[in-house]
């Protein structure tokens, strides 16, 4: 693992108390007894959503509520978090016993990083961080991206299939950070499941997983 001072350079922020940063980089697999970044991840998720919501509210004055919701969903998605994590080489700093740092681990660490800056420097510092790290993603979204569930529904209609249905299978994890497992049913296709940090998030993830499976099969 590289020195955390290099990560501070990557994110253009210097911590007053680096213990927040160290905790943000500590995955639950590193030790069952020590503290990990799960609580920070919970907080960072909320800070990111608030800051991004305000940014797009100011940037896209002509967007209606639905357009703004689609932009927000894209910008705070696991894929966007992962792309930011790779941009700042977060995988060089995460403390983990996992053999491979997958998308979920890096996306969660990115949220924890945001929370660590918020706790260390306040909302203005975390807003500056998000503006800096999300600048490319914000510039790249000229038109509001279509919600993945909307795209799947349109695909089903074009293929004369019934509207896809979603079912909550189970809920796992601690009360402060539950994980929801959802299944999707599409006529003529095998059932697919996926997980998320909310039912809505899980439905989006399983819809994306289904659409990805179509692309792989084409």
Catalytic residues: 45, 111
Q: For the chain, list the strands marked E by DSSP.
A: 165-172, 179-185, 192-196
* Of the candidates 169, 170, 209, 202, the residue with the CA atom closest to the CA atom of residue 186: 209
Query: By CB neighbour count within 10 A (0-12 exposed, 13-18 middle, 19+ buried), where does 161 fall?
Result: middle
**Alpha carbons 128 and 85: distance in angstroms, whole number:** 16
The position carrying tokens 């350079």 is 9
């Amino acid at each position: 693992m590289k020195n955390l001072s290099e990560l501070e350079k990557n994110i253009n922020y210097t911590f007053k108390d680096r213990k927040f940063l160290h905790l943000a980089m500590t995955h639950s697999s590193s030790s069952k007894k020590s503290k990990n970044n799960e609580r920070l991840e919970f907080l960072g998720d909320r800070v990111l959503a608030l800051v991004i919501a305000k940014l797009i509210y100011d940037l896209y004055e002509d967007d209606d509520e639905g357009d703004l919701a689609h932009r927000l969903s894209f910008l705070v998605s696991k894929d966007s978090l992962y792309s930011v994590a790779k941009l700042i080489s977060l995988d060089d700093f995460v403390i983990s016993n996992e053999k491979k740092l997958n998308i979920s681990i890096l996306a969660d660490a990115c949220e924890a990083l945001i929370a660590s800056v918020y706790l260390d420097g306040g909302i203005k510092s975390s807003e500056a961080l998000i503006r800096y790290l999300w600048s490319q993603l914000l510039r790249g979204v000229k038109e509001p991206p279509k919600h993945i569930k909307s795209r799947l529904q349109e695909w089903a209609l074009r293929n004369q299939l019934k509207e896809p249905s979603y079912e909550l299978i189970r809920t796992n994890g601690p009360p402060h950070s539950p994980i929801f497992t959802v299944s999707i049913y599409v006529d003529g296709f095998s059932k697919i499941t996926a997980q998320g940090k909310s039912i809505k998030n899980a439905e989006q993830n399983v819809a994306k997983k289904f659409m990805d499976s179509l692309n792989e099969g084409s």
